Structure 1
Amino acid sequence: MYTALRKRLERKPQPIDPMRSYAVALILEYHDNETYLVMQKRSLYIAQPTEISFPGGAIEKGESSMQAALRESCEELLLSPEDLAYLGPMDYLVNSPRLVILPHVFHYTKKGLIEQFNIDEVQRLLHLPVSWLLRQEPYYTEGVSSLELPKDFPYEKIPKGKDYPFHLTNHSFYFYTYDGEHIWGLSSRILTHFVEMLREIDTSSFRK
């Protein structure tokens, strides 16, 4: 039995519960002596309509998170892979035990700003000046998620019954407002981490 079990265990461990893995792209562009970060307002016809997000989407089988971020960026912004130069991966965000987001940083290799986009997925683009971002302190608040259990949940089978101290998830919320749009949720958490990272390096080339 032990031999068979040992052979069964000879593989890369996977999450017990299926995970949803997504990749997003933080794209820097340069125009008129200023560096910008691209974000987009989501179309009415896709999930989380009208929210501000980074280009990105689900990681498909057989591709890396960087490849997914590049592919989704090209689809949503009507770009060619050659239009984006890869700078590297950021720290990833685990929003729940079943959701992970892997951000990657690119820069736009052409002159000017990205103006075109896929109208089926994007309403408009935002070009956030990096110098502006470095001066911002987002509005911050915290919250705790609630746990909704079905009416027929068998409380009698667990210690303390209905008084069982279930673990609830703490959430941090960051809010930015730019050009009349509010940036919040997972996108603002990634944005905040990116700005914190920029503050650790020499940003003298980022003009005011």
Structure 2
Amino acid sequence: MSGSGTVGRGRGAGAGAFGIAAETDDAPLPDLPLRRYPRVRVAAAGGLNAATREAVVVSGPLSHRDAPGVFVHRVRPRVEETLASLVPERIPAAEVPAGFRPASVLIPLYPHAGEVRVLLTRRTHALPTHAGEISFPGGRREPGEGARSAALREAREEVGLDPGLVSVLGEMDEVWSVGGYLVRPFVGWLDERPLIRPDAGEIAAVLEPSLRELMDPVVHRVERMEARGRAYPVHFFDWEGQVIWGLTGGLLYRLILLLRGEVPAEPMNHLEALRTFRAHRGGGG
């Protein structure tokens, strides 16, 4: 799944912004408002307030300033406990524009060289769409295929990840792309750096930034981009000369908020933006 909304395996979903609505005046675009998770131990009975989607977790928020050794040991329980206590949001079928296709992505995390790494890919420049863009492993779901199974299959096909080595920690909110995809993102954990065998026909390079690097505010910026008559905030991460943005940047941003103990004040689905998009397409669900 590429940085600008491409779904992997050479099936482009179209360039454009991560589906988040914003004001359309010329004022500087602020970052999304946040609310914080309480730093409280989860009770045995549960840990989710369904009305507010606020969760409480044992491991507590993480920071890019945390010592590497501490950070490495806390990432998995932090992600696993938080996602387990949140019910992923789904886009209602009635809101889905005609022709949208289901897709899945895997966000692989693993410890390596004293840091927790996130696996990203850069598409080859020979591909007909979205050449050179950065993405998570992912792609369109096959007929009858489960969302989690599709994420694991695509990761195996694109970079050779053995599904048997991946522990799926949970699922994030469903998102949509302006290329016409409904994307279900899964966070996966591997106990060590896997053997990576990228498909040379599609993958030019595998990137392995550390989560602590990506959590540093100096690498993150938000820009406003226009698509289908609306302005959208788009998240960018500048890492070692590479630019991670669009759908991939949006998912990274949400993962980082989860690690920090913060969530957006609004859900990821952004139905008002989707309705505007649908109106411009001239189609219904």
Which of the five TM-score ranges fits, normalised by the shorter chain?
A: 0.7 to 0.9
Look up the equivalent residue of 2:252 and give its one-letter code: L
- Counterpart of 1:31 in structure 2 is 112
Identical-residue share of aligned pairs (%): 26
- Counterpart of 1:199 in structure 2 is 260
**Any stretches of 5+ residues in structure 1 without a counterpart?**
1-12, 147-167, 202-208
1:183 to 239, 244, 247: 244
Look up the equivalent residue of 1:72 and give its one-letter code: E
Following the alignment from structure 1 to structure 2, what is the Cα–Cα distance between the partners of residues 200 and 106? 19
Following the alignment from structure 2 to structure 1, what is the Cα–Cα distance between the partners of residues 257 and 168? 20
Query: Which 10-residue stretch deviates more, 95-104 or 128-137?
Result: 95-104
Look up the equivalent residue of 2:256 and give its one-letter code: V
2:189 to 100, 103, 107: 107
Q: Is the strand fraction higher in 1 or 2?
A: 1
Following the alignment from structure 1 to structure 2, what is the Cα–Cα distance between the partners of residues 144 and 79? 36
Q: Is the 8 A contact 1:40 1:52 kept in 2?
A: yes
Following the alignment from structure 1 to structure 2, what is the Cα–Cα distance between the partners of residues 27 and 173? 22
Q: Deviations over 1:24-65 (max 9, x none)?
A: 110001113211111110123433111010000001111111
TM-score (norm 2): 0.54
2:103 to 13, 22, 30: 22
TM-score (norm 1): 0.73
- Counterpart of 2:121 in structure 1 is 40
Q: How many residues align?
A: 168
Q: CA deviation at 1:96?
A: 4.2
Q: How does 1:149-160 map to 2 (within 5 A)?
A: none
- Counterpart of 1:165 in structure 2 is none
**Any stretches of 5+ residues in structure 2 without a counterpart?**
1-92, 263-285
Q: Deviations over 1:93-124 (max 9, x none)?
A: 12349432111000124x33554311112111
Q: Deviations over 1:134-180 (max 9, x none)?
A: 2235111113324xxxxxxxxxxxxxxxxxxxxx3332211111122
Q: Is the 8 A contact 1:31 1:113 kept in 2?
A: no
Q: Is the 8 A contact 2:110 2:190 kept in 1?
A: yes
Change (3 A) 1:21 1:170: farther
What is the alpha-carbon root mean square deviation over aligned residues? 2.3
1:122 counterpart = 2:203: yes
